[in-house]
Amino acid sequence: MTEPLLAVRDLVQEFTVRGQGGVRGGVLQAVSGVGLDIWPGETLSVVGETGSGKSTLARSIMQAPPPKSGEVTFRGVTLGTLRGAALRDARRSIQMIFQDPYTSLDPLWPVARIVAEPLIAAGVSDRGERRRRVGELLEQVGLDLGAHGRRRARELSGGQCQRVAIARALAASPALIIADEAVSSLDVLVQAQVLNLLEGLRTSLGLSYLFIAHDLALVKQVSDRVAVMYLGRLCEVGPADEVYARPRHPYTVELLDAVPRIEQGERPARDAAADALADAAAEAPSPVHPPSGCRFRTRCPRAQARCAQETPLLAPGQGAASGHLVACHFPIAAGPEPERGHPTARAPGPERGRAAEPAAGPERGRAPATNTAATKTIASDSK
């Protein structure tokens, strides 16, 4: 296939909010000009702190509600042009799995009925055939129709519930699954099991995933590419290995600093970093009145005057690996891979906290439009 499975172009989603308790109302800019592609069989992870617009992006892709502007194309069809049954059919091919499996499953329905529902919607009217398919689907997610089919959600563990949610999603024969914090509420071991399950299904069923998470560590093992989102915009996109080993955007570095360093026995340092990130998120600028220019500038240790005046666009940085894009006027230099095992993988010495020389060529001034389907590695933030 020469075209992406999903292509998102210049997507904008806004909400009108009323002023409350001394806080001014206005137009909340939840997603501002996001572009990305997902290719068949690919997993793209979108990471960012709370309120950065990840779920809004996912919902806007699903046209629930439709974006204020921009385009979402799935299998070459622009979803915004579809209505009624045609839109429902397209949506069936894009399934969502949510964070809390207990609230995303009907508490009164037995597992077998939950998984059968999408089959009924797809017109599988024969009961015997439905039962056979439900049995197959439960088996695919490591459950058993006899043992689990009659149970209700509250009678299952969190991991089992999430497996039922995955089986229900698979019942619609999707090509793309959007997993919005799908493993965040599970404990570490169960997280790993569910991630392994999703990874296995990707291979056996040829699925693509849009994985949404706060935590870069969580998605490391499953991502082909990673897109980092801050206050409604993408600030860095690239092959997962590159983004983890050589982050170019100061915000990505901040997120990586919060990654657990359990392997190095540095748990306390991580907790401090994670706490600092949570505090910073709590003090993030309002999406109703985001900072001019670069939205990260109020938290950025490298900010300069230009950052308030010009919005940085996603562009390939000087010396960056193919497909590694960063939206920053003064990105961290693309250096050699630092010491292995250090999750932050930052540039050494004076690079930290100090602005690098502006890159030559297109990185100076206006960055070129990067949001073309000409490469397999695109994601852009064109506003």
Ligand X SMILES: Nc1ncnc2c1ncn2[C@@H]1O[C@H](COP(=O)(O)OP(=O)(O)OP(=O)(O)O)[C@@H](O)[C@H]1O
Interface ranges with Mg ion (CB under 5 A):
55
DSSP helix/strand/coil, 27: strand
Task: Report CA-CA distances (Å) from 219 to 46, 99, 180.
Answer: 9, 14, 12
Strands (E), 68-224: 69-74, 77-78, 94-97, 176-180, 208-213
Residue 61: phi and psi, rounded to 5, are -60, -40
Minimum CB distance to ligand SF4, residue 352 (Å): 12
State which residue, 30 or 256, has the beta carbon closest to ligand X.
Answer: 30
Q: Out of ligand X, Mg ion, ligand SF4, none, which partner does residue 51 contact, by CB within 5 to 8 A per kind?
A: ligand X
- Strand 208-213 and strand 26-38: pairing? unpaired
Question: Are 227 and 324 a contacting pair, CB within 8 Å?
Answer: no
State which residue, 55 or 223, has the beta carbon closest to Mg ion.
Answer: 55
State which residue, 98 or 296, has the beta carbon closest to ligand SF4.
Answer: 296
Which pair of structure tokens corresponds to residue 277?
């990130």
Stretch (H or E) spanning 164: helix 158-171
| Chain contacts with ligand SF4 (rule: CB under 6 A) | 249-250, 294, 296-297, 300, 302-303, 307, 312, 328-330
Based on its alpha-carbon atoms, the radius of gyration of the chain, rounded to whole angstroms, reads 21
State the Cα–Cα distance between residues 317 and 228, nearest whole angstrom: 15
State the Cα–Cα distance between residues 324 and 346, nearest whole angstrom: 15
State which residue, 195 or 213, has the beta carbon closest to ligand X.
Answer: 213
| Chain contacts with ligand X (rule: CB under 6 A) | 15, 17, 28, 30, 48, 50-56, 214, 287
State the Cα–Cα distance between residues 115 and 215, nearest whole angstrom: 29
Q: Out of ligand SF4, ligand X, Mg ion, none, which partner does residue 307 contact, by CB within 5 to 8 A per kind?
A: ligand SF4
Q: Out of Mg ion, ligand X, ligand SF4, none, which partner does residue 52 contact, by CB within 5 to 8 A per kind?
A: ligand X
- Cβ-closest position to Mg ion: 55
Which residues on neighbouring strands pair with residue 296, listed in sequence order?
Answer: none
Q: Out of ligand X, ligand SF4, Mg ion, none, which partner does residue 300 contact, by CB within 5 to 8 A per kind?
A: ligand SF4
Minimum CB distance to ligand X, residue 291 (Å): 15
Which residues on neighbouring strands pair with residue 31, listed in sequence order?
Answer: 13
State which residue, 37 or 363, has the beta carbon closest to ligand SF4.
Answer: 363
DSSP helix/strand/coil, 237: strand
State which residue, 59 or 225, has the beta carbon closest to Mg ion.
Answer: 59
Minimum CB distance to ligand SF4, residue 335 (Å): 17
Minimum CB distance to ligand SF4, residue 291 (Å): 9
Stretch (H or E) spanning 6: strand 6-17
What is the layout of strands, in order, in the sheet containing 208-213?
94-97, 176-180, 208-213, 43-47, 225-230, 233-239, 325-326, 315-316
State which residue, 152 or 383, has the beta carbon closest to ligand SF4.
Answer: 383
State which residue, 34 or 328, has the beta carbon closest to ligand X.
Answer: 34
Q: Out of Mg ion, ligand SF4, ligand X, none, which partner does residue 260 contact, by CB within 5 to 8 A per kind?
A: none
Q: Out of ligand X, ligand SF4, Mg ion, none, which partner does residue 303 contact, by CB within 5 to 8 A per kind?
A: ligand SF4
Q: Out of Mg ion, ligand X, ligand SF4, none, which partner does residue 209 contact, by CB within 5 to 8 A per kind?
A: none
Strands (E), 21-68: 26-38, 43-47
Minimum CB distance to ligand SF4, residue 94 (Å): 32
